[in-house]
Amino acid sequence: MRDTTRPDEAISTAPHPAPLVRDAAPADLAAVQAIYGHHVLTGLGSFEETSPPLDELEKRYRAVVDLGLPYLVAVLDGKVVGYAYAGAFRPRPAYRNTVENSVYVAPGMEGRGVGRALLATLVERCTAAGRRQMIAVIGGGYDNAASASLHAALGFKECALLRAVGWKFGRWVDVLMMQRPLGPGADSPPER
């Protein structure tokens, strides 16, 4: 992994308050749109090339909630500073016990435990819901070191590197896939 700290950046050692992680509500989606839009337009974590409008994010939110899966926001000082959700990994019925996670942190909130709090809560909630596997599909591959490190810290293991499967910002982009068992994982049959 590479160090992305610029020499002119001071590294703060002061502790930051822990974010409050809660279920997202429709009223949070404008903040979610702003966070996601930033990542779409500036990063490789999403392979979208234009930021989706609010009504599209509302549909996506509703699809996750209607599946009974968690859609979470992290709040600091009354402001949404990150969000995460679990969606269906694939649409076929045999995949019903496996979820794919998405975690996005607001610009300027990196390194404050927001992503960790969101992902830890997402893992906990999906485990409680009886899901057995969680997949991280990390756009940017190893260049997205922050996401790869976050997932590894919470027990995800690399399972695939898909080379040059995306084209964004005038270059080929890799996808790193990481996986984590939930609850008993593959040690017993699922309940559903």
The pLDDT > 90 percentage for the chain reads 90
Domain boundaries, the chain: 20-181
pLDDT of residue 28: 98
The region of weakest confidence among 8-17, 51-60, 122-131 is 8-17
- Indicate if the pLDDT at residue 9 is higher than 90: no
pLDDT average, residue stretch 61-79: 97
Question: How many Cα atoms are found within 13 Å in the side-chain-facing hemisphere of 157?
Answer: 5
pLDDT at 32 over 90: yes
pLDDT band at 139 (very low <50, low <70, confident <90, very high): very high
3-state secondary structure of 68: coil
Mean pLDDT of the residues in the chain: 93
Q: 20-181 has which CATH code?
A: 3.40.630.30
pLDDT at 129: 95
* 171-191 per-position pLDDT tens digit: 999 999 999 999 999 999 998
CB under 8 Å to 82, separation ≥6 — which residues?
19, 35, 73, 74, 103, 104, 105, 106, 109, 114, 115, 118
Residue 14 has pLDDT above 60, yes or no: no
pLDDT, residue 8, reads 41
Edge-to-edge, what's the strand order for the sheet holding 98-105? 20-23, 71-76, 79-88, 98-105, 133-139, 171-181, 157-168
CA distance 120 to 146: 15
Q: What is the pTM of this model?
A: 0.90
